[in-house]
Amino acid sequence: MKYLSLLFIIALFSCDPDRTDSTHKVPGYVPIYLEQRSDTAISTGGPKTTVKAGKIYAYRNYLFQVEQNEGIHIIDNLDPKQAHKIIFLKIPSATELAIKSNYLYTNHFNDLVVFDLSDISSPRLVSRLTNAFPQISQNYPSLTGVQFECADPSKGIVIGWKEQMIENPKCRR
């Protein structure tokens, strides 16, 4: 009889009267996707606001700042008190940069791309080394003991994770 009473108490407190269906949401992580690569995705445009600031590189009278996974801001720094953005080099998935002898080197997905900076207002793509970098796998969050939405390669490359409430997660790490 003791066991039957205990079983009844457990069943009573494990019911969720507000739950109307078989789904429930829990804190977890969902992937942030970047569309699959397109060689035509590299372009130049006017200055834009920095949102996801990355590394900064100083070269001559200019600063080059990575906009994480978006591209590179080129900033005129001739007068550091009045530095101003002059151009944005759109390079999806760019996270790194280096400059040597008037050439800017950066990543575009897993390719190494090189730009000629002879005319700073119009950087020109001059070389691409395909598959120079192995694709960094982000098919799961770096945290352990978390639930997450499974990555779907058909949606693109996973470039990060964001925390939110997710419904019936299938993956756990």
Confidence at residue 134, expressed as pLDDT on a 0 to 100 scale: 76
The 3-state secondary structure of 9-63, one letter per residue: HHHHHHCCCCCCCCCCEEEEEEEEEECCCCHHHCEEECCCCCCCEEEEEEECCEE
Strand partners, 153: none
Residue 18's pLDDT band, with cuts at 50, 70 and 90, is very low
β-strand pairing of 97-100 with 103-108: antiparallel
Spatial distance between the Cα atoms of 130 and 111, rounded to a whole number of angstroms: 4
- For the domain spanning 40-129, the CATH number is 2.40.10
Distance of alpha carbon 9 from the chain centroid: 48
pLDDT tens by residue, 76-107:
999 999 999 999 999 988 999 999 999 999 99
Q: Domain ranges in the chain?
A: 40-129
Which pTM value belongs to this model? 0.70
pLDDT tens by residue, 24-60:
899 999 998 876 655 558 999 999 999 999 999 999 9
